[in-house]
Amino acid sequence: MLRLTPLKLMIGLLAAAGAAKAATSLPLPAVGQGPERLFLASAAAPAEAAPAGAPNGQAAASAAAPADPATCATPEALLQSIRQERALIARQKAALDDRESKLALARQGISAETARLTRLKTQVEGLLKKVTDAHDADLDRLVKLYQAMKPQQAAQILNTMDLEVTVMVLSTMNERAAAPIMAQMTPDRVQAVSKIILERSKLPGDQNVVRVKLGN
């Protein structure tokens, strides 16, 4: 039979006590939890601790997170600029509308004035035609009267008549009727009548009608 000394017995007891303590300190697996579940739990533990110990992971998570809708709203300054632009456009449109209204009124006034002047022109032309027709008719009657006279009698009257009237009468007559009358008129009177008739055929700027003083 093996005999143990007290020293060996004490060493054996200390070794047994240390092994028992080490065995009780290990975590026991729960019921239904196999090695695979323990491996997944150990792998998930560092990932949960990563935000506290790794700033790069926190920055990546912040970048991947959706933006706050409040930061995407239109700034008040942009809204104010849009309102000011709309107000400016509205003022410009109102000014253009006002100008167009004034132009329309001006066009109406011009059209009315043009119509009035056209009517006035027609009236004046009608009056002038009446006056001209009456003058021509009177001149034709006067010419017929002088043509019916004897040349000597007609010459005596035309020698003392207004020079312009004498020119009108003689210039309206045909040559055969005017020639005998002018032959009986004074030479100065004939020269004056001839000068006026000749100058009257020229342009107004080229005319040089000289008034002739006739002696008694």
Q: How far is residue 52's CA from residue 90's CA, in Å, rounded to a whole number?
A: 58
Structure tokens at 55: 């700033």
CA dist list (Å): 70 to 5, 66, 73, 75, 79: 84, 12, 6, 10, 16
Give pLDDT tens digits for 90-145.
999 999 999 999 999 999 999 999 999 999 999 999 999 999 999 899 999 999 99
- Calpha distance 193→200 (Å, rounded): 11
User: The whole model's pTM is what?
Assistant: 0.43
- Amino acid occupying residue 165: V
At 15-61, the pLDDT tens digits run 666 666 655 555 544 444 444 444 444 444 444 444 444 445 444 44
- State the SS3 of 145-178: HHHHCCHHHHHHHHHHCCHHHHHHHHHHCCHHHH
Pairwise CA distance, residues 81 & 15, whole Å: 87
Query: Quick one: pLDDT at residue 197?
Result: 86
Domain locations along the chain:
77-132, 149-216
